[in-house]
Amino acid sequence: MGNNLKVSVVLPTYNRARLLKRSIASVLEQTYRNLELIVVDDCSVDDTMNVVRSFDDKRIRYIRHKNNRGEAASRNTGIKLAEGKYIASQDSDDEWVREKLEKQMKVFENSPSNLGVVYSGLWKIKGDKKNYIPSGGIKKKEGHVHNELLKVNFIGTPTTVIKKECFEKVGFFDERLFHLVDWELWIRISKHYDFKYISEALTLVHFTKGSISSSKDALVDARELIFKKHFLEIKEDKKLLAYHAYILGSEFHKRKDRDRGKQYISQAFLVCPFRIKFLLAFLMSRFAPFGFKFFYELKKIITLKFNMENG
């Protein structure tokens, strides 16, 4: 496609033929035209191939895996084949505002060389409900956001444009993960590059029943892998270490994996023994494991009441 290609859009998909057309169209209809679209079909068994071929656009490249390998592997396949200097990520059930890439590339054109990622806000749509991400609770949304990303992920994959050199520096998506694959990558990239935030929703993210994002087990397993992979950094902040351990302990208890639940709750308590929340969770975990669910539900009720009373 030529040496002047700027943006390679990587779109992994698996059995989303009924939704894929909207997503592809939102990429091809971008006001920014200097792009290629790499659709990576992760061995779908529906009509995905025909949906892609229904578009008469030379900018589309279609790649099909012989076996189902997961989201991270599919994204990596596309990135390794990309000819552009920048990588944009799209999801098969989401859509972009027409000016998305144009606005992001203008930011890159007027920014210093240490800028690695430009991302935007998004609307997360589930039924008739819409939530804007990132929330106002995120203190630092741009610049050196590494410490903030060690706490929580606030960047949606389809909102990003990334310099391809970032992958050469820190590696690709971790293919051991089947959830939170973007968060783990952002943590690595943010060690070396700055991030820039466009404060408007340029992406519409649609919740799809049965998607990987709806799998609780995959979420917990991914959180544990990320916790272990970045443990040396996380442990430098005792509050952060206790927070992640507490979340993991709570989730493993809800999954009825009480041994691992006890392990992480104990870790949170030993790091921050004077936090009432961690103390109560530790006591419930150790001496009344069947009451842990009650404790967790009670905490949610108290939090909800507090939020209602304080607007």
- 286 part of a folded domain: yes
C-alpha 110/C-alpha 119 separation (Å) is 15
pLDDT at 209: 64
Tokens of 215: 């799998």
- What are the backbone angles phi and psi of residue 50, rounded to the nearest 5°? -70, -35
Peptide bond into 134 cis (omega under 30): yes
One domain, residues 118 and 81: yes
Amino acid 187 reads I
- 219 part of a folded domain: no
One domain, residues 207 and 279: no
State the Cα torsion 16-22-27-31 to the nearest 10°: -170
pLDDT tens per residue across span 38-51: 999 999 999 999 99
- 244 part of a folded domain: yes
- 196 part of a folded domain: yes
- 180 part of a folded domain: yes
- 218 part of a folded domain: no
| Helix (H), strand (E) at residue 207 | none
pLDDT at 290: 57
One domain, residues 37 and 141: yes
pLDDT at 308: 47
pLDDT at 277: 87
Residues of the chain with pLDDT under 50: 1-2, 212-213, 305-306, 308, 311
pLDDT at 44: 96
- 227 part of a folded domain: no
**Which domain, by its residues, includes 304?**
235-309
pLDDT at 150: 97
- 285 part of a folded domain: yes
Non-local CB neighbours of 121 within 8 Å, separated by 6+ positions: 132, 133, 134, 159, 197, 198, 199, 200, 201, 202, 203
pLDDT at 274: 87
One domain, residues 208 and 291: no
Q: If you ran DSSP here, which 8-state letter would residue 176 be given?
A: T
C-alpha 82/C-alpha 61 separation (Å) is 10
Structural domains of the chain, count: 2
Alpha-helix residue ranges (DSSP H) falling in the chain: 17-28, 48-53, 71-81, 100-109, 146-151, 164-170, 181-189, 216-229, 231-234, 238-254, 258-271, 276-287, 292-309
pLDDT at 283: 81
